[in-house]
Amino acid sequence: MNLKAEDQRTAPRVAVQFHALVSGSVQSEGTGTILDLSRGGCRLESQVLMLPGLSLELRIAVPGLEWALMIDGADVQWTDEDRAGLAFVRIRETERQRLDNIMTARLARTSEDGDDKQGNLVPVEFQGLEPVLSKNPEVAVSKGLAWFAQDRAEFPFRGGSLLNRAFPACTPELAAALGTLVQSGGDTEVEFSLALLQNYRGSTSADGVLKEIVSRFPQDDRKMDGVRISINSPGAVSGEFGLAEAWRVKKESLTRWLTDTRPAVNAFAQQHMAELDRMIVAERRRVEAERELRERSRHEDESDGYRAKPF
């Protein structure tokens, strides 16, 4: 189903705090929080790359629903640092009906209560632990591993969110604790480490942990994909070619991996540097093609006397 732009702008909205998985055409899957929702779009907060014109796919976890609400196409209308306005342009009929039901219930609650109250993203039982965990990375890693093993799907929103508050940056002490865990652990420990490192997009402070994973599990495609995702995640970018530039910096940082004496690490670095070269070329071509398309569309709109309105 394609939603009209006018409907997107005039549809009633409700304030929410729904967890969401976000995927797009130029970056691997990440997480985010839906801050307000309407039948035609939403406001999203996320570290995933969001640029006007990009189309994202959303899986929104709504309390009370057995499975996530699926939005097949949500086009970025505007961005402000880590927030963006999205317009729902592709949504299946069954999902549209579910969205209608959600909005009807939320609007009714807002009307009755005067406010749509949401719980904190960090559960009550976790609150106040940040100062304690921040002083002892080993304990933080141990607790985080237990939370991850208990509920992997919710970890990014619960235990992972708490650890990010305790460690806004991946400190050398935290990286050392994760490295020790990876050295002696198995699948669960490695997958927990990769999940936690998603908090530190764009940082090279955990390269030692990633190299340890590569050294121990070079033939495990799933773990190698996790390492690639961690390396490729650019953090904040700016400008049309911001993503390509971020990947260029990533490629340069991998040159330090080439001095590692472990053959698996060296081989991985060479292969991924070549892959980043291909990604950079493809991204530059994509930006240039979209620039040309926008320019052509602008001229067509001007000739028709139409001016697009922001969502």
Q: Which domains does the chain have, with CATH numbers?
A: 5-113 (2.40.10.220), 124-291 (no CATH)
DSSP string, 102-145: HHHHHHHHHHHHSS-----SS-GGGTT-HHHHHT-HHHHHHHHH
By the 8 A CB rule, do 130 and 162 touch? yes
Q: Is 82 exposed, middle or buried (0-12, 13-18, 19+ CB in 10 A)?
A: middle
Pairing of strands 83-90, 55-61: unpaired
**CA pair distance 229, 226, nearest whole angstrom:** 5
Q: Does the pTM of the predicted model rise above 0.85?
A: no
Per-residue pLDDT for the chain (311 aa), expressed as one digit of tens each? 444 444 444 567 888 888 888 887 555 577 889 988 999 999 999 888 788 888 888 989 887 776 888 998 898 888 888 888 999 988 888 888 889 888 888 777 655 555 444 444 445 455 578 888 999 999 999 999 999 998 887 787 778 888 988 999 999 999 999 999 999 999 999 999 998 998 887 678 899 999 999 999 999 998 998 898 888 876 666 677 888 888 899 999 999 999 999 999 999 999 999 999 998 998 888 888 878 877 777 766 666 655 544 44
